[in-house]
């Protein structure tokens, strides 16, 4: 069986204000424009997730919520997991393996550098230098269950980002 995984770096966020925690950073104007645009690009290719896993940090969850709304994914299909906050690649893989369930298409919202590293390690092909804010990596995996997800097994990998005008 083939399943699809889409990894998204959160959209552009304001830098921390004095006294503000990194966790609480909100999307800036560009981030608020990029998130729906990237969701529309996914929708035009019929790439609608069954399940969204997100870092609970404000900027990641806001990006996930905006994209879910554009993709018409119900809010109860968004799961937050603190392990995705500033995670490196191994915890990201672990969250997908544990929480992917029977979803055919899982979308994960997290942070750099972990999300870029995870995309590169999962891809069987092309590598990404660095995933820009609101960058989207998607690939297919020949697994019956998300617990079987493994490195270098992503096929038909695609990468898109807001300033990509291709």
Cβ(142)–Cβ(161) under 8 Å?
A: no
Tell me the pLDDT of the chain averaged across its residues. 96
Q: Is residue 37 part of a domain?
A: yes
Other beta carbons within 10 angstroms of residue 41's beta carbon come to 16
Q: What is the pLDDT of residue 165?
A: 76
pLDDT tens-place string over residues 73-102: 999 999 999 999 999 999 999 999 999 999
SS3 content of the chain, % helix, strand, coil (to 5): 35, 25, 40
Other beta carbons within 10 angstroms of residue 163's beta carbon come to 9
Q: Is residue 137 part of a domain?
A: yes
Instruction: State the residue range of the domain holding 143.
Output: 2-12+23-160
Structure tokens, 165: 């005008």
Q: Which residues contact 16 (CB under 8 A, 6 or more apart)?
A: 22, 24, 25
**CATH number, domain with residue 29:** 3.40.50.1240
Tell me, yes or no, if the pTM score tops 0.95: yes
Task: Write down the H helix ranges in the chain.
Answer: 29-44, 58-71, 89-99, 114-122
Q: Is residue 18 part of a domain?
A: no
């Amino acid at each position: 069986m083939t399943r699809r995984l889409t990894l998204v770096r959160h959209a552009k966020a304001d830098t921390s204000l004095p006294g503000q925690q990194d966790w609480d950073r909100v999307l800036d104007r560009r981030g608020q424009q990029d998130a729906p645009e990237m969701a529309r690009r996914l929708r035009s290719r019929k790439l609608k997730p069954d399940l969204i896993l997100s870092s609970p940090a404000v900027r990641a969850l806001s990006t996930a919520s905006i994209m879910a709304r554009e993709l018409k994914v119900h809010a109860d299909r968004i799961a937050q997991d603190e392990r995705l906050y500033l995670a490196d690649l191994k915890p990201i893989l672990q969250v997908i393996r544990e929480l992917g369930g029977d979803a055919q298409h899982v979308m994960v919202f997290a942070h750099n550098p972990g999300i870029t590293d995870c995309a590169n390690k999962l891809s069987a092909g092309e590598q990404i230098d660095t995933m820009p804010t609101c960058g989207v990596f998607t690939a297919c995996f020949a697994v019956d269950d998300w617990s079987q997800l493994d490195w270098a097994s992503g096929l038909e990998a695609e990468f898109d980002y807001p300033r990509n005008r291709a």
